[in-house]
Structure 1
Amino acid sequence: MESNHHLSLIKPTVELKNEYLAFYNEWVESKEDMVPWVIQKDPSDFEAMVQFLKGNEQGRNLPEGWVPDSTFWLINQDKRIIGAVNIRHQLTPFLLNRGGHIGYGIRPSERRKGFATKLLSLSLEKARELGIRKALVVCDEENTGSFKTIIYNGGIPDTDFIEEDGNIIKRFWIEL
């Protein structure tokens, strides 16, 4: 298992284009849902994608009803992208039930190594820096790994949210 103390969060940068494309393509090839949502963004115009993420953080050109958000990549000492996180600066009624403040994901080949726990821990520090005092983190009920990660990072269960299709979203608050 790789050491977790050599991991850090960085803002998206064009300097890591090839590494990010490897990260992105691994998700595509896995055919899994891409989480957080920002990694679903087509990176073929890489500079435009990075500018889009910067714009979101500054609240520029946001779709109606969206809030500013910050995206970070989890990298190791070799600058390999292990995961990504998207932190919403505030909550809308939709995010209060389904999205929470923090959405994160670990690339398929790096799961079950403790990286998600470290990613969420580092993300909570970033959320605190953004002025968030109590973070909402959610996961689908069947996502046992995420459930355990959130609890380990101090998640206090709140009322579940049940989507129209019956999917149960577990909701947790973490004091910062």
Structure 2
Amino acid sequence: MEQNTELIKPTIELKEQYLEFYREWKDSGENMVPWVISKDPSDFSAMLDFIENNSKGKNLPTGWVPDSTYWLIDPDKKIVGAVNIRHSLTEELLNTGGHIGYGIRPTARRKGYAAQILAQSLEKAKELGIERVLVICDKGNIGSEKTILKNGGEPAEDYIEENGNVIKRFWIENHAR
């Protein structure tokens, strides 16, 4: 598939496009993935400051690690997805979060964007010095599993949450990319 997207840092210039992206997720009733897109964007500047501070490790809640958020845009500057890259892992993230969490807006799915966002996120992770990347998905999320495998994911031991949900874990060696 042709690479027709770009991973960019969130910016005030794309406020209207982001609000449209956010509303679509909210209206779908689905879980908002990655977690950061569930932040209320009504004070857009404050949301951007929060994202920027997280990337620098400033004002993080106890137990949190620094993370970087990017938006995936198409040639028309439409936001088709978002990704959150954690700079390191806690024990909980090792089991249930991984380094990279990404989501594609409901109307943009099944068009190859997930493979593009993960491939470009691996480049960003490499820039952050993350050479071995953990990516996870729920068992049964065949689309995500295929995307992770397509990007070099090697299956690791599954993690079973207290509620019985099975999380599939994959490591991607990022230094040879």
Residues 4 and 115 in structure 1, CA contact (< 8 A), matched pair in contact too: no
CA-to-aligned-CA distance 1:64-121 (integer Å, 9 cap, x gap): 0100000000001110000000000000000000000000000000000110001000
Within 1, Cα distance between the matches of 2:126 and 2:9?
16
Residues 136 and 171 in structure 1, CA contact (< 8 A), matched pair in contact too: yes
Q: 2:30 aligns to what SS in structure 1?
A: coil
Aligned to 1:59: 57
Aligned to 1:168: 166
Within 2, Cα distance between the matches of 1:71 and 1:143?
23
Within 1, Cα distance between the matches of 2:31 and 2:103?
10
Structure 1 residues not aligned, in runs of 5+: none
Q: 1:118 aligns to what SS in structure 2?
A: helix
Identify if the C-alpha distance between structure 1 residues 4 and 21 changes in structure 2 by more than 3 Å, giving closer, same or farther. Answer: farther
Which residue type is aligned with residue 40 of structure 2?
D
Within 2, Cα distance between the matches of 1:4 and 1:49?
32
Q: 2:32 aligns to what SS in structure 1?
A: coil
1:104 aligns with 2:102: yes
Within 2, Cα distance between the matches of 1:170 and 1:119?
19
Aligned to 1:117: 115
Match of 1:28 among 11, 26, 45: 26
1:4: how far off? 4.1
Q: 1:85 aligns to what SS in structure 2?
A: strand
Q: 1:103 aligns to what SS in structure 2?
A: strand
- 1:4-153 equivalences in 2 (<5 Å): 4-153=2-151
Residues 4 and 118 in structure 1, CA contact (< 8 A), matched pair in contact too: no
Q: Please give the TM-score of this superposition, normalised by the length of structure 1.
A: 0.98
Structure 1 runs (4+) greater than 2 angstroms displaced: none
Structure 2 residues not aligned, in runs of 5+: none
1:157: how far off? 0.2
Residues matched between the structures, number: 174
Which residue type is aligned with residue 140 of structure 1?
D
Within 2, Cα distance between the matches of 1:6 and 1:148?
20
RMSD value, Cα: 0.7
Identical positions, percent: 65
